[in-house]
Structure 1
Amino acid sequence: MPPIEDHPLRYELSNELHARPFPTVGAEAEAIWLAIKRPNDAAARDREADRQHLLALLDRHGAQHPQPGATHYSGKIGRHDLKWESHTEFVTYTILSAGLGERPFDPAIWAALPEDWLAAAPGQRITSAQVRILKRPGNDATITQALRDWFEPESLAASAVLDDSAVIASDFRIDAGGHMRFAIFAGAGTGPARIGRILQRLCEVETYKAMAMLGLPRARDLNAAMARIDGGLSALLDEMSQETAAPEAALEQLLTLATDLETLMSRAAFRFGATGAYEAIVNQRVQVLRENRFNGHQTFAEFMMRRFDPAMRTVKSTERQLRSMTDRAQRASDLLRTKVEVGRSAQNQEVLASMDRRAALQLRLQETVEGLSVVAISYYGVNLLAYLLAPLAYRAGIEKPTLTALLVLPVIAAVWLLTRRIRKAMH
């Protein structure tokens, strides 16, 4: 193939598809999972602070550093395998340890993450989990007894996954150590790669479930404010139907309510949008496990349907209600603006009619003044002409009163024509 210039992002985009490979885990192992998130949605994540926190852990074990700007890392810290991933809102740490302790879910494995290092984390724990991976015994009764000992029966979910290659279980409760518990019983023919995929899916289900649940308290907080605004909006709409209501005052109140609604919408938009995305990921991760019922226990999908889906429906309902109230306020605002504009148009018509009446009066007054002006000018014009022509009239034998009488009509006519010509020229 002849040489051709590559797009500058070609390799970066291709490598992104392979950036987060599944871990490989043996059938006798333990794993812990930690997700750290900034406490405030509005506060942007400091990715450099997250990276420096990772480097502090690696330096304790003399491990190699990731590349600058990396969003994932895999390596060994002591006798453990570490996997670090940077996501949009959180970072995750996965610690894999070969072999099983004598005590199920022994918290000693958490010593891989020192307490002072955890205390210096640039964020808060959104979730943490401990996973115990065992070989699946030939007798399922043994698994059932272990599940009774490790988990709360009331919320226990267990299922056979990936064509019965493993059994997974959890009660999705926080134990005394502050962690979720998961168990994986891998079948004899299940290889490390498949076990790693199952482990990754379980950790993703837990993490994205926790992130999605952040939308529920936000929805509950909004309900009180929405109820107050809804009451004010309903009362305002009732007042709008009355003839005595002042549209200008109602419009000002409505704009205040609409502003409050837009503020609520802007504050909740990111969290509600993220909740919807995380919910979709949770459902997809559960679906790809291809669950089958195990010994009559509820499956992970059934647990999510009973416990997780109602919370998500509450969030979606709150979001729909908020959007509906915003649309109502917008429609009411449009109606009020129309009412105000109609009222102002009527006022403008009255003003124009009043101006027309005043113009007509001014015209009549002007005509009256013009008539009086013609009389006054004619009076002075007649007198002036009488004084001017008196000597000539005396020689002709015409008396002054007669001369004055003869001059009145021509002077008046001349003054009237001159005034008319001036007004016509001005217009």
Structure 2
Amino acid sequence: MAKGSFAFPVAAARAQALGEVHARPYALVATPRVIFQLAFLTEGQAALDHEILSDLSRARGVAPPMPEANHHAVSFGPGTLRWERHTEFSTYFWDAPAPERFGGEVPLHPFGDGFRPPGPLISGIRLEVRKDTEETRAALAHFDRASLCHSEIKNGQAAILTDFRQDGNGLTTILVIDRGMTEAGTGAVVQRLLDIETYRTLAMTGLPLAQTLWPDIRRIEDGLTAVTQQMTKTVRETADGMLTEITRLAAELEAGAAQSLYRFGASRAYYGIVQERLRTLGEVPVAGYETIATFLERRLAPAMRTCQSVEERQANLSRKLSRATSLIRSWVDVELARQNADLLMSMDRRANLQLRLQQTVEGLSVAAISYYVVGLIGYLAKALESAGLPLKSGVLTGIAVPFVLLAIWLVVRAIRRRHKDDAPH
């Protein structure tokens, strides 16, 4: 095949789409190993996050990432720092050789006194991978038996222990007992466990908001009930006041819904990721202990149902407020229609009165104009009589009266018809 025979113009997004598949490979994790991962809320603080990571990179002789980068790795000492940016948080992952004993102090890690957090800490994890030895199995004593989760994965190639409680440093401790996994397989298990702990914490952030909104929704429901009961008694007299109250309740509800829209949607997405990671983990329970999936489902599911219930109550209450508003507006529209009808009837009566008055004025104007015209004819007749013409001025004036009246009436009628024809229809 000739070289370059497929060198066609490529789509702008092709490189990013192809590179995304390989952008976040699982770390190769040897045994024994200790891993720390911190997740910080960094939404709106991308510049500070990048600045801190750049300082860490330069301090270890590594070029800092580009501002638009979403992942970066820095190797130094016995370990590697891996950074990854997500929608509303960033994770700092660091692995190093495990201490001699489970839970022992690590002599060197990048999250010491000199580390500046890029935002509030949302999740902190200490995960150790150790061989299956008597000393490792004795690590059961380090966990709280009341909430200890102990299961096997990968057809018995590994066991997992955690109690989801925080140690003295505020980190959730997880122990993976390696019974023959490859480094790639260990890396995949480690990443799934880190994701489960991080995303289950993020999913639970919707619960405090739901608990805060619950009393407000109840108060709005009570307000709507009061208004609808009032509607059955004195709607016409108090429609404006009820419409104002309904509008106020709807505004409060929409403010709460807008506040919770993103948080509840994110909690659902994070909960879905946790469930997917748990399914992929494929745990088999150890006799006498719960699996991580069972433990988290009993605690996460009610919290997610609470968030879902608040969302559904908001949606149902919004529909009820909309129906109540429409009903009150119908009463207001009916009242306005009645008032408009009364106003039109009043205007019609005034128009009839105005027409009668106009007709009366027209009749008077015909008489007044005729009087002046007849007077002019009388003056003319007297002048002609004084000039010696054989006529009587009084007789001529009297004869002219009916003709003048008819002429003036015809002229006024013609003018009125012309104005009627020119009027808009």
Normalised to the residue count of structure 2, the TM-score between the two structures is: 0.90
Superposed, 1:136-285 pairs within 5 Å as: 136-137=132-133, 146-147=139-140, 149-188=141-180, 190-244=181-235, 245-285=237-277
Other-structure match for 1:357:
349
Q: How much has 1:402 moved relative to structure 2?
A: 4.4
Q: Using the alignment, how far apart are the partners of 2:85 and 2:384 within structure 1?
A: 120
Give the secondary structure class of the aligned counterpart of 2:92: strand
Counterparts in 2 of 1:182 and 1:247: CA distance versus 1, 3 Å: same
Return the letter of the residue paired with 1:412. Answer: L
Give the secondary structure class of the aligned counterpart of 2:18: helix
Q: How much has 1:346 moved relative to structure 2?
A: 2.2
Give the secondary structure class of the aligned counterpart of 1:155: coil
Q: Using the alignment, how far apart are the partners of 1:152 and 1:302 within structure 2?
A: 17
1:109 and 2:101 aligned: no
Which of 34, 40, 64 is equivalent to 1:36? 40
1:384 and 2:384 aligned: no
Which of 394, 399, 403 is equivalent to 1:406? 399
Give the secondary structure class of the aligned counterpart of 1:134: strand
Counterparts in 2 of 1:405 and 1:172: CA distance versus 1, 3 Å: same
Q: How much has 1:254 moved relative to structure 2?
A: 2.1
Return the letter of the residue paired with 1:9. Answer: A
Q: Using the alignment, how far apart are the partners of 2:170 and 2:114 within structure 1?
A: 17
Return the letter of the residue paired with 1:220. Answer: Q
Give the secondary structure class of the aligned counterpart of 1:115: coil
Return the letter of the residue paired with 1:136. Answer: D
Q: How much has 1:220 moved relative to structure 2?
A: 1.2
Q: Which runs of 5+ in 2 are unaligned?
A: 421-425
Counterparts in 2 of 1:75 and 1:401: CA distance versus 1, 3 Å: closer
Give the secondary structure class of the aligned counterpart of 1:101: coil
Return the letter of the residue paired with 1:131. Answer: L
Give the secondary structure class of the aligned counterpart of 1:177: coil
Counterparts in 2 of 1:55 and 1:418: CA distance versus 1, 3 Å: closer
Q: How much has 1:391 moved relative to structure 2?
A: 6.4
Give the secondary structure class of the aligned counterpart of 1:25: coil
Q: Using the alignment, how far apart are the partners of 1:402 and 1:167 within structure 2?
A: 138
Other-structure match for 1:80:
79
Which shows bigger deviation, 263-272 or 341-350?
341-350
Q: Using the alignment, how far apart are the partners of 1:324 and 1:49 within structure 2?
A: 41
Root mean square deviation of aligned Cα: 2.4
Q: How much has 1:367 moved relative to structure 2?
A: 0.6
Q: How much has 1:168 moved relative to structure 2?
A: 1.0
Q: Using the alignment, how far apart are the partners of 1:155 and 1:110 within structure 2?
A: 30
1:353-395 deviation digits (Å, cap 9, x = unpaired): 2111111110001111111222222233333323323466797
Normalised to the residue count of structure 1, the TM-score between the two structures is: 0.89
Q: Which runs of 5+ in 1 are unaligned?
A: 39-43
Other-structure match for 2:278:
286
Return the letter of the residue paired with 1:370. Answer: E
Conservation of the 8 A alpha-carbon contact between 2:153 and 2:283 = yes
Corresponding residue pairs, total: 414
